[in-house]
């Protein structure tokens, strides 16, 4: 991937017409991210079609949600979403729900563009896999710190220990 491709990456709001592409990218990203964090058998049932069905609900959220896709040469390569806090004990009013980027585009600056689009420099928080060292480094570079809170979340029927970052 060239520097020009990264420089030309387009960050734009998610559209209803993106659901199929978002489902495909999310399925790939989940394999790239979680294959080493949870049992691979849990991921075998993950299909782009099922992910697209999920996206058909997510894409139509209201204006209080910030949801963006990253495109390179017209192809979605990543996405991000933030919105109102979902936790009862939320440390901030805004939560970063997800940020996924295909592995081949990680470290190019596109993830940073996605993060900036959804979060800018506002206070917020997010949950991330405890053992996801790459994600920890990224969020720390963006001024987020661990607040000591952990919880076990279900991901495809598997337990995943998540930790909370706050800014």
> What are 4's two structure tokens?
């020009």
pLDDT for res 98: 93
pLDDT for res 41: 54
pLDDT for res 145: 98
Rg (CA), the chain: 15
pLDDT for res 77: 97
* Sequence-separated (6 or more) residues with CB below 8 Å from residue 149: 163, 164
pLDDT for res 153: 83
How is the chain split into domains, by residue range?
A: 3-122
pLDDT less than 70: residues of the chain: 1-7, 34-62, 155-156
pLDDT for res 89: 94
pLDDT for res 33: 75
* Sequence-separated (6 or more) residues with CB below 8 Å from residue 130: 150, 161, 162, 163
Which CATH number is correct for 3-122, 3.40.50.1370, 3.40.50.850, 3.40.50.10320, 3.40.630.30?
3.40.630.30
Write out the DSSP string of 44-104.
TT--HHHHHHHHHHHTT--TT-EEEEEEETTEEEEEEEEEE--STT-SSSEEEEEEEE-GG
pTM score: 0.86
> What are 2's two structure tokens?
């060239």
pLDDT for res 125: 98
* Sequence-separated (6 or more) residues with CB below 8 Å from residue 40: none
């Amino acid at each position: 991937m060239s520097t020009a491709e990264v420089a030309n990456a387009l960050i734009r709001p998610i559209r209803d017409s993106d659901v199929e592409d978002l489902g495909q990218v999310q399925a790939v990203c989940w394999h790239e991210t979680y294959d080493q964090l949870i049992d691979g058998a849990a991921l075998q049932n993950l299909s782009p079609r099922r992910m697209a069905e999920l996206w058909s609900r997510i894409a139509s959220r209201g204006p209080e949600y910030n949801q963006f896709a990253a495109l390179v040469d017209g192809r979605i390569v990543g996405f991000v979403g933030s919105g109102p806090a979902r936790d009862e004990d939320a440390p901030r009013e805004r939560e970063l729900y997800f940020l996924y980027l295909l592995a081949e585009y990680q470290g190019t600056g596109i993830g940073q563009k996605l993060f900036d689009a959804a979060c800018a420099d506002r206070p917020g928080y997010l949950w991330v896999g405890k053992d996801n060292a790459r994600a920890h480094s990224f969020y720390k570079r963006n001024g987020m710190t661990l607040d000591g809170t952990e919880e076990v979340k279900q991901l495809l029927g598997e337990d995943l220990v998540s930790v909370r970052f706050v800014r």
